[in-house]
Amino acid sequence: MIPVQRLPATERLVRLCNSRTKNIQDLGATSTAARGEWRLAEAAKSEIRTLLENMAPGVLRCMYCLDSLGTDIDHFEPLSRAPMRTFCWHNHLLACSRCNSNFKREDYPCDEDTKECLLIDPSTDDPADHLELLLAAGTYEKKTRKGEESIRVFGLNREDLVQGRFDAYVTSCDVLNSWHRKVRSGDLLGAAHSAAALRREPFGDVLHALEKLGRLPYAAAALGDELAESLTAWLRLPAHPATTNM
């Protein structure tokens, strides 16, 4: 998981959501009423989906696994638990159907004492505060209880994701070194294409973790001289470069 920046709701979305929320309240604020309103709210769902897709990492990736395409609008706090938040913009994330329907579903663990949610919301939390990605293994380790529950609920260490992250680690290292060689040889267009392709790859958490390692003083010892030098150059780039001028 990596942080995603939540975009502001449009005026149209606010109007649509407020109207649907009032209907839910008038119908008794039940989960049945919430499901009925959600099923009928094509205009609001279209607006929500457009904003979420603009927030999504890579090429419309699921905000939980970062592997599959985000196909579902997930209610982070399930509407069965909080019917009045069914149309709350801050309660929507983009998820793939597997994460949403096979893993997270209606799960929403909370601390017994504080009642705080124990799942990472990538639009408000920095996942790195709660999780550590072991690049060479492709697995996540918990740092906090919220990290532990997020690994469990989202299935972050399921076999396909672990293998995918390891493969992404190998690929990212190769592409970073290739990108840096193009920069040094003056092939700026080729370098720009490599940079854009790398940023569009699934498992953006792998590149995110590599960038974090590249900022550490012992990067060369951990990654090797060539990759550490490539990362040092990479970290000088703007977030979404059109070209390189290094």
Q: How do residues 113-151 score in pLDDT, each as one tens digit?
A: 999 999 999 999 999 999 999 999 999 999 999 999 999
Residues 6+ apart with CB under 8 A from 151: 131, 140, 142, 157
Q: How confident is the model at residue 208 (pLDDT cuts 50, 70, 90)?
A: very high
Helix (H) or strand (E) holding 51: helix 42-55
Q: What is the mean pLDDT of residues 77-93?
A: 96
The residue whose two tokens read 């049945």 is: 32
Residue 243 has pLDDT above 50, yes or no: no
Q: What is the mean pLDDT of residues 12-22?
A: 97
Residues 6+ apart with CB under 8 A from 244: 183, 188, 191, 192, 195, 237
CA distance 41 to 172: 41
Residue ranges of E strands in the chain: 72-75, 92-95, 131-134, 139-142
Beta bridge partners of 141: 132
Query: pTM above the 0.75 mark?
Result: yes
- The full set of domain ranges for the chain reads 11-157, 160-234
Q: How do residues 157-194 score in pLDDT, each as one tens digit?
A: 999 999 999 999 999 999 999 999 999 999 999 999 99
The total of other beta-carbon atoms located within 10 Å of residue 104's CB is 23
Question: What's the mean per-residue pLDDT of the chain?
Answer: 93
CA distance 243 to 202: 22
CA 195 to chain CA centroid, nearest Å: 19
Helices (H) and strands (E) in the chain, counts: 10, 4
- Short-list 92, 82, 79, 108, CA closest to 50: 92
